C-alpha cells in the first residue's frame, strides 16, 4: 500500500491511507468543505458528474478531491467529514455520486449511513471506499444498495474508472473478493425470508417507529416516546408504508410480525 504524503499528494498515483490514518482529520469536526479550491475549474463542459466525498481523513480527501477535480467530467461539490454533515451535504448539493467511507469515527455503522443517504437522495449512487477490503463488509454494502466497493489503496486511474463505471450503471467489486461476495449475498438471501428483506430496507429510525407500531402505539405516543414531532412520525410512517409496499399501518404491522419483529425490538 502506498502512502499519501503530508502535502496531500498521492505517491505512485495511489490513494494510500497510511498517511491519513495518524489522526489527520478535517479542519473542524463535522465540516462540509466547499471544494472551490480543490482543483481547476473547467469551462465549456456541459455535462459533469457531481461528486460528494464522505471521509474523515483530511490528507486522503484533499488528494482525492484534487485528483477527481482534474477530470473534466467530474466535479467535487462537497467534502463531508461526519455522517450528519454528509446528510446535510447530500440535501444541499444534490450529488450524482457519493464516495463513502463506511468507517467514520462518528458512525458505528456506516452501512446504516449508506441507507440514510440513499433515502435522502434515491438518485445518488454510492461507491464505498474502505481501508479493509473484506468480503463480508463488501456484501453488506452491496446488499444495502452500494454500486461499488473500492479499497482506498486502489490506483488513482482505476478509482476514476470505477466512478465512471458507476455513473454508467455498472457495479464494481475487486476481482479477488467477487466470489466471496456472491457467496455471502446468496447465504444472506437464503436465511432471510421475503418479509425480513422488506424490513431491512428501513432505516434505523424507521425500524424504531415500526416496532412501536407493532406495540400498538399511535402516532402521538410514538412521537412522545422518540422525542419527535408528530409530522416527523407521519413522514416516517409514509416512508415505512412505501418501502414495505403496503397501504395501511395494519398491513405494515403484519409485515413486521411476519419478519419476526416483536414489540420489545425498539
Identify the CATH number of the domain in which residue 219 sits. Answer: 1.10.10.10
Q: Is the pLDDT of residue 15 over 50?
A: no
pLDDT digits (tens, 9 = 90+) for 175-198: 777 777 776 666 655 555 678 888
User: Span 105-128, mean pLDDT?
Assistant: 88
Taking the C-alpha atoms of residue 28 and residue 31, their distance in angstroms, rounded to an integer, is 6
Do 228 and 157 lie in one domain? The reply is: no
Please choose, from the candidates 192, 207, 213, 208, the residue with its C-alpha nearest in 3D space to the C-alpha of residue 259.
Answer: 192
pLDDT digits (tens, 9 = 90+) for 37-96: 333 333 443 479 999 999 999 999 999 999 999 999 999 999 999 999 999 999 999 999
Least confident of 15-29, 117-131, 181-195: 15-29
Three-state DSSP state, 50 = strand
Do 68 and 111 lie in one domain? The reply is: yes
Share of the chain above pLDDT 90, in %: 42
Do 112 and 198 lie in one domain? The reply is: no
Would 188 be classed as within a structural domain? no
Q: What is the mean pLDDT of the chain?
A: 79
Do 154 and 216 lie in one domain? The reply is: no
Q: Which of 137, 154, 183 is the last residue of a domain?
A: 183
Taking the C-alpha atoms of residue 88 and residue 108, their distance in angstroms, rounded to an integer, is 19
Q: Is the pLDDT of residue 4 over 50?
A: no
Do 200 and 95 lie in one domain? The reply is: no
Would 3 be classed as within a structural domain? no
Burial 39-52 (b: 16+ CB within 10 A, else e): beeeeeeeeebbbb
Q: Which of 158, 183, 208 is the last residue of a domain?
A: 183
Higher pLDDT, 23 or 100: 100
Q: Binning pLDDT at 50, 70 and 90, where does residue 264 land?
A: low
Do 166 and 223 lie in one domain? The reply is: no
The number of folded domains in the chain is 2
Q: Is the pLDDT of residue 100 over 90?
A: yes
Do 126 and 177 lie in one domain? The reply is: yes
Q: Binning pLDDT at 50, 70 and 90, where does residue 31 land?
A: low
Taking the C-alpha atoms of residue 250 and residue 258, their distance in angstroms, rounded to an integer, is 12
Q: Which of 183, 209, 238 is the last residue of a domain?
A: 183
Do 69 and 135 lie in one domain? The reply is: yes
The CA distances from residue 187 to 29, 43, 52, 182, 256, in Å, are 39, 49, 32, 9, 22
Do 176 and 74 lie in one domain? The reply is: yes
Do 98 and 134 lie in one domain? The reply is: yes
Three-state DSSP state, 150 = strand
Domain extent for 50: 11-183
Amino acid at each position: 500500500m502506498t502512502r499519501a504524503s503530508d502535502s496531500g499528494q498521492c505517491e505512485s498515483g495511489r490513494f494510500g491511507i497510511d498517511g491519513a490514518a495518524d489522526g489527520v482529520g478535517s479542519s473542524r469536526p463535522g465540516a462540509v468543505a466547499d471544494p472551490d479550491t480543490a482543483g481547476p475549474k473547467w469551462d465549456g463542459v456541459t455535462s459533469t458528474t457531481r461528486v460528494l466525498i464522505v471521509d474523515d481523513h483530511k490528507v486522503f480527501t484533499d488528494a482525492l478531491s484534487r485528483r477527481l477535480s482534474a477530470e473534466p467530467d467530474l466535479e467535487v461539490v462537497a467534502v463531508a467529514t461526519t455522517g450528519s454533515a454528509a446528510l446535510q451535504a447530500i440535501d444541499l448539493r444534490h450529488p450524482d455520486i457519493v464516495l463513502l467511507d463506511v468507517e467514520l469515527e462518528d458512525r458505528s455503522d456506516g452501512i446504516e449511513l449508506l441507507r440514510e443517504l440513499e433515502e435522502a437522495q434515491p438518485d445518488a449512487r454510492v461507491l464505498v471506499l474502505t481501508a479493509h477490503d473484506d468480503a463480508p463488509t463488501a456484501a453488506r454494502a452491496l446488499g444495502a444498495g452500494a454500486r461499488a466497493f473500492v479499497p482506498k489503496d486502489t490506483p488513482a486511474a482505476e478509482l476514476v474508472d470505477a466512478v465512471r463505471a458507476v455513473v454508467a450503471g455498472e457495479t464494481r467489486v475487486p476481482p479477488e473478493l467477487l466470489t466471496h461476495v456472491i457467496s455471502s449475498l446468496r447465504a444472506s438471501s437464503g436465511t432471510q425470508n421475503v418479509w425480513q428483506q422488506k424490513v431491512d430496507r428501513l432505516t434505523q429510525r424507521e425500524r424504531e417507529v415500526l416496532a412501536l407500531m407493532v406495540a400498538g402505539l399511535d402516532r402521538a405516543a410514538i412521537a412522545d416516546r422518540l422525542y419527535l414531532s408528530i409530522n416527523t412520525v407521519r413522514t416516517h410512517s409514509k416512508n415505512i408504508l412505501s418501502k414495505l409496499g403496503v397501504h395501511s399501518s395494519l398491513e405494515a404491522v403484519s409485515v413486521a410480525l411476519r419478519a419476526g419483529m416483536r414489540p420489545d425490538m425498539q
